[in-house]
Amino acid sequence: MRALSANLFSLLLLCALASVFYVWSALENRLERHKRRFSVPGGGSFHQGLPVDLSAKTFRALLAVPAAQRLHFGDRLKVHNLTNQPVSAGSRDYNMNGDNKRSAQREGPVKLSLLNNGIFWSEWLEDILPTGFTEEYAMAWQKKARTYRVVKLEPGCGRISNQLATFADGTKACVRYGINADQVQGETLTYYLARLLGITNLPPLILSQLDSDSEQWESVRTRIDDLQWNDRAVVSLTRWISNLTGVITPAPLRQESSGLHPALEELWNKTTAELLELMQWTDLIILDYLTANFDRLVSNLFSLQWDSRVMERDTNNLLKTPRGDLVFIDNEAGLVHGFRVLNMWEKYHNTVLSSACVFRKRTTQRVAELHTRRDSRRRLLELYRNSEPLSQELGFLSDEHAGVLQDRIDRLYKHIVQCKGKYSQL
């Protein structure tokens, strides 16, 4: 009897320890998300078509997966020369209240048509869409940030290898050192690809070299030595934005929905503010698909195998201003890194893309132009080198990865054409 009691007590103790470990792990994950929230800058459903051979993979294990095979498509859409046009000026800073008229329009009920030509958001919605970090604002910040002296480095930008930098004037930026150069390169090139597409939700970014002779880093040299950073490394600095909150995946993009498409009756019950957020989500889906960024929507989709409510919690690397403007942060998994592990994640990328059949017309026009001209490598490289003095030091996409990017542009274009064919009569 004593042996039975002892065994029972041991079993209960093991269960209790397992429960404590589970709760602690969950709290640790939520704490990290909480820190990031306040310390970083600023078709079908997800459930349908999910593969049955899901297996857990760690971030490290995924590094070894080779790049995916390429596909080419030859459809045509009407093309406009938009990629060389600057984005219109708008809000100067996410911390400002913005235009009162626009704010009032966002709060009001929807009284007009939501869509044009079947799959495009209406022009009146485009007119009141948050302008984000305009090209004019980004260039002004970049010019100043390259001359600012860093006076303090401290944790506060997610991963321990990153640091929150304070400049001499009191403003801040997130410094990305990266596990390897691929991550800094992916973060940087994703920013310039978004610029090429006219997507302004990414905070402005510059590169800097941790040179021992650099006046910019002179005041924090001891801290750099403590962090064991290579003094020749190229790091990225991204504009730090305060007062941001987490973002939950909207209902039309969750696994229980049929997807975000023109025939979705739920769209007509949305407020103007909700529609404007959905517009930004469609740009996010396009950008993450092109860059093969698996550390946002795709990671949530992957996690559904063991966490059926993951879509009801904050989305990785996505934050929101008090005005409702979405901020796409921590894009290091895009392009270089994302292309290296593409075979592992491609089925999830395709599922996410197939969940959306409503887009911003201006964004799709730029995609169509890049598809038709087939010069995405040249245009991205040109913008990158003309904008970033350290572009040569950090490097650019390999010929193979540049080809993968063009292929993804072609595949995205084909998806848009298919959506247009399916819903153009609505």
Q: Give pLDDT tens digits for 148-169.
A: 999 999 998 888 889 999 999 9
The pTM (predicted TM-score) of the whole model is 0.78
Instruction: Please determine, for residue 382, whether its predicted confidence score (pLDDT) is greater than 90.
Output: yes
pLDDT, residue 93, reads 43
pLDDT, residue 106, reads 55
Domain residue ranges in the chain = 130-239, 245-424
Gap between the Cα atoms of 396 and 301, Å rounded: 30
**What HEC string does 374-394 produce?**
CCHHHHHHHHHHHHCCCHHHH
Q: Give pLDDT tens digits for 342-352.
A: 999 999 999 99
CB 239, CB 41: distance < 8 Å: yes
Q: Give pLDDT tens digits for 389-414.
A: 999 999 999 999 999 999 999 999 99
Q: Give pLDDT tens digits for 296-337.
A: 999 998 988 898 889 889 999 999 999 899 999 999 999 999
Gap between the Cα atoms of 356 and 351, Å rounded: 9
Q: Give pLDDT tens digits for 220-234.
A: 999 999 999 998 899
